[in-house]
Chains A and B, each alone.
Chain A
């Protein structure tokens, strides 16, 4: 299967009073047909900005895509006319946002919000669009769709609203669904429902999903492939198993170690990542994680590491993976034992 989306060396900057914030600094990745790719990272790492660049949702003022290409089915979205992009948005690529409370129109019946896109992109008449919208409401597990169709967003709970948003996003059978922290605002039992629903629909419809999240548990649940972002760059990428079970970048390892292990009986002290992410006004010349990294060497501060392929398809942007460096696997084993 070929690639549905290819993002190549994307760079996005924002101008602000303090200077230029380099939010995304050369990000490359691809999504295959029918694949779930998780984008993991902390606030400010550039994961949402990357998604907004794909959807062309970045503000026009003060923001610029400096470099790179975003190729969707052979077309570079960055070169596409506004009109063509409009046709693509919602029908081929759609998005589910984090906050179900603010991303629906409060003055519009939810049924109409689903039908809106169907009428626009599929050219169905109102009656047929309503039929399709009802089908979608049923598909996302909303009980009694006929009654719900005429309700307003405030009459629905958070979990229900997120289901409606998913229905809106899937209304025109998109090939790519971008989900930006779709369950972060929800309670765990509701999160479990929504993740279940998304997995189910993904398997049924074969939609590719770009799932943005900070929760490594959600990654394990949903994704086949993962990219880990830090300070605007991709520090590690690979399959979910590569990333969660055999991390090759100290940042990924640090994230995993800072989570409590609630399956062991004894109480262990958490191993946090000390310090805070770097300032993106003036990002460091070397590895952005070097200042917080326990394994940092001299070269890490001086020079940005290249992306090393440690095994088939597993990349880590860390000097430890250079053939001349000590092996990160030894560190990983040591770190996990808490020594």
Chain B
């Protein structure tokens, strides 16, 4: 088994809303292995973006442990912390909002190189040009502004910016959700190429289950701040254990009219409850078709139901 690059133990991130706590991420435990892509799926408000931002360091965790290559990220000294900020990078969802409209593309990509003093002068410019070409753009594009590019091209610029500081671990927060279908495939292929060539590790956050299945080695399913299930992507799709995962998979509309592709659909009732006052016991029980008495009284244990297949559900 390959070593874990990132280990998350009982991680919590609460936000204060008035006098109450919004438990955006609540007691989450998982690890990301070196060189793999871990997909993270869940609906809006499930905490997947907060989790990604907390790992990158944009949020300070409320509790729990975050170990990167065996070291506790919360106890790093200043120099180590700066290095962590370099080797862990993020790609954002909205390519229109995540690039500074007043900066030239070359400077957007070069900002990280400057901050970490990785190169200067001609070497810096060469590096920027190489990066632009690596993500499928041209060296001349360095002199242009973000508004001159399409959504897909901007996302490539965002990827180049993340790569500029030679990261090891990239959190991609819905990197393709804002793009058109035909462009999504271009960006996904680029990310796969980069991973293969540069040995990157990805945490890929998305709500499009089809794409997540395609790009991920393993997938974690989140609901209302907690993990419901975690398994190899093949296993998760062929044998989903958690009722929420089953409903989520059955809800994807399949682009085919042939009878063979029509599956039994599980329609969940109602909306996800508020994360400020989540249900007692299992957080999914209010919408779960299999809810039992025990689900209201006890929080289901996060356990390895089958080898390498984790779930938090009283059915198992």
Which chain A residues have a beta carbon within 8 Å of chain B's beta carbons? 42-43, 157-160, 187-193, 195-196, 214-221, 240-241, 244-245, 254-256, 258-260, 262-263, 265, 267, 269-274, 276
Task: Write out the residue numbers on chain A whose beta carbons fall within 8 Å of the beta carbon of B254.
Answer: 217, 220, 263
Residues A274 and B253 in contact, CB atoms below 8 Å apart: no
Report how far A271 CA is from B186 CA in the complex, Å: 8
Quick check: B257 and A196 within 8 Å, CB to CB? no
Q: Which of B156-194 contact A (CB under 8 A)?
A: 180-186, 188-189, 192
* Chain B residues proximal to chain A, CB less than 8 Å: 43-44, 150-153, 180-186, 188-189, 192, 207, 209-211, 213-214, 234, 237-238, 247-248, 250-258, 261, 265, 267-268, 271
In whole Å, how far is B58's beta carbon from the nearest beta carbon of chain A? 23
- Are B214 and A267 within 8 A (Cβ)? yes
- On whether A245 and B256 interact (CB within 8 A), knowing A189-B248, A262-B237, A276-B152, the answer reads yes
Quick check: B252 and A188 within 8 Å, CB to CB? yes
Q: Which B residues are in CB contact (< 8 Å) with A269? A: 189, 192
Pair B183/A276 contact, Cβ less than 8 Å: yes
CB<8 Å pairs between A and B, sample of 24: A157-B271, A188-B252, A189-B251, A192-B251, A192-B265, A193-B268, A215-B255, A220-B256, A220-B261, A221-B253, A244-B256, A245-B258, A254-B182, A255-B181, A255-B182, A260-B213, A260-B214, A262-B210, A262-B252, A265-B234, A271-B185, A272-B183, A273-B182, A276-B183
Given A255-B181, A269-B189, residue A262 in contact with residue B214 (CB < 8 A):
yes
* Least CB separation from B193: chain A residue: A269
In contact, A188 and B181 (Cβ under 8 angstroms): no
- For the A-B complex, the count of residue pairs with Cβ-Cβ distances under 8 Å equals 116
| CB <8 Å contact, B252 and A42 | no
- CB proximity of A56 to chain B, nearest CB, Å: 28
Residue of B nearest to A214 (CB): B181
Given A188-B248, A262-B209, answer yes or no on A270-B271 (Cβ-Cβ < 8 Å).
no
**A260 & B210 in contact (Cβ 8 Å cutoff):** yes
**Shortest distance between the CB of A293 and any CB in chain B (Å):** 12
Say yes or no: A258 contacts B253, CB within 8 Å.
no
A120 to B258, CA, bound (A): 44
**With the chains together, A212 CA to B215 CA distance in Å?**
28
Contacts of B153 in A (CB 8 A): 276
Are A256 and B255 in touch, CB under 8 angstroms? yes
Chain A proximity of B247: nearest CB distance (Å): 6
Contacts beyond the supplied A157-B271, A217-B255: 20 A-B pairs with Cβ under 8 Å: A187-B44, A188-B43, A188-B248, A189-B251, A189-B268, A220-B255, A240-B257, A244-B255, A245-B256, A245-B257, A255-B182, A259-B181, A260-B214, A262-B213, A262-B214, A262-B237, A269-B192, A270-B214, A272-B183, A273-B186
Residues of A within 8 A of B257 (CB): 220, 240-241, 244-245
| Minimum Cβ distance to chain A for residue B173 (Å) | 16
Q: Which residue of A lies closest to B45 (CB)?
A: A187
In the complex with contacts A214-B181, A255-B182, A189-B43 CB distance below 8 A: yes
